[in-house]
A = this chain, B = another copy of it.
Amino acid sequence: MDIRTPDWVKDAVFYQIFPDRFAQSVRVAKANHLQAWGELPTFHKYQGGDLLGVVERLDHIASLGVNALYFCPVFQSASNHRYHTHDYYQVDPMLGGNDALREVIDAAHARGIRVVLDGVFNHASRGFFQFNDLLEQGQDSAYLDWFHAGPFPLSAYDDSKPANYAAWWGNRALPKFNTDTQAVREFLWKVAEYWMQMGIDGWRLDVPNEIDDDEFWREFRRRVKAINPEAYIVGEIWGDAHRWLEGDQFDAVMNYPFTRPCIAYFGVDSIDNRMNEASGTGHVDPIDTAGFAQRMLQVSQMYAPEIVQAQMNLLDSHDTARFISVVGGDHGAHRLALAFQLTYVGAPCLYYGDEIGLPGGPDPDCRRAFPWNDEASWQQDTLTLIRTLTAARHASKALQRGTFGVLYADHDLLIYSRISGSEAAYVLMNTAQDVQKAPLTGMKPGTFRDVLSGT
């Protein structure tokens, strides 16, 4: 099968936003019972970030060289992370509602910034309309076939009884759709179409492997691409994803196989595995330079080049401890990892706050409010490095789309290339504390510019 992924993704730098914690606008009315902005996150409390806050921070976002936003869920949901969807057609009122998303899309597009939303299609929530009908009518519900439910009544809020309906990982807060029912399939596909027509640039798919139905995702792709052939479809698949990356389902996946070696290598001296073990990441054993180079070569060749160029490469996310905390607060290690991420093949995805070295352990701690009013806490070197390297990436076809090659990988020295046709970029990484001499063999002849010094 012919594999085609969106061109813009190959040149994209993503910025992942957790909407409740990124920024607040005074233009969105605030509930009376919010946790104060910047308090340590809890599983249930809201801090009241909103989407107009994002619009008002687009200068900051653009200054990072970011040209694509990936939002954690924005639809109406009775949960601060909004993975428990209550209404797929409404942006959460606390975020500013549908009008606020309209403004985000328009303001972002005006700056050449794409917008990707998180689609949670495997399961809904206990308050979701058709599931609520099961709670209210039981066996008499019109929507009996929308979920895998029964016998009735359902023990949706009674933890002392088994959840008598299918739910994501048995979590009764997340009833799983019965995607064998045609009305449910159409419902979910139409949601995808609706927001595409609203102008979003793609979907990040939450736990899509749980909908164990390739034809569901094929039709999903057909409908999304019919509206915008350049739409990006990126699945949350933590392991091998070949099944979905044959060209007929997803364009790419969240590249956690990229994440783990970065932790293993850049965090080699400081890795805090309690952080990983409590995250989706899992325990990570340190590796040396050669091992890292080999793993990264593999990662760059796991899928067809069209796919690899469109992978979403991340160091951390709302589902993991933050990289800076995983490496024990070693900002040097964090910056090396960021430098690698921003010069590797595939689309880098910065998790909001990474650019200032915001710390955070596993969920919910990795979802702290952005400290806009505490600039003293910002890691300015990290911010500067990101701006420098995204600028370099945008200026170099080789850094954006070039193949990944390793020239040298031994002890604390890693040299790799990115080659695109006649263009080449080389990255030298010294993970030691001391200055080292690098053997510059295997490089193409010519004049090179040092993107860090600018000379």
Contact = CB atoms under 8 A, between A and B. Distances in A.
B173 A86 contact: no
Contact of A144 (B29, B33, B125, B128): B33
A183 B33 CA distance: 12
Given A78-B132, A181-B32, A44 B145 contact: no
Query: Taking the full assembly, how many copies of this chain does it contain?
Result: 2
Contacts of A156: 157
Interface string A128-139: 110011011110
Interface in A39-86: 42, 44-46, 48, 76, 78-79, 84, 86
Nearest to A31: B142
A138 to B, nearest CB: 7
A35 to B, nearest CB: 8
Interface string A389-430: 000000000000000000000000000000000000000000
Given A135-B78, A135-B157, A158-B158, A142 B87 contact: no
A432 interface: no
Nearest to A45: B140
A452 B46 CA distance: 68
A127 B137 contact: no
B136 A79 contact: yes
On chain A, which size bracket covers the interface?
35 or more
Contacts of A145: 32-33
Contact of A44 (B29, B125, B126, B140): B140
A72 B183 CA distance: 26
Interface in A14-42: 29, 31-35, 42
A145 B33 CA distance: 8
B78 A140 contact: no
Given A45-B140, A137-B45, A158-B157, A78 B129 contact: yes
Contacts of A84: 136
Interface string A159-186: 0000000000000010000000101000
Nearest to A48: B142
11 contacts: A32-B145, A33-B141, A33-B143, A35-B140, A44-B141, A46-B142, A78-B135, A87-B90, A126-B135, A127-B127, A127-B135
Pairs of residues from A and B, 3 with the lowest C-beta to C-beta distance, nearest first = A127-B132, A44-B140, A31-B142
Interface of A: 29, 31-35, 42, 44-46, 48, 76, 78-79, 84, 86-87, 89-90, 93-94, 125-129, 132-133, 135-138, 140-145, 153, 156-158, 173, 181, 183
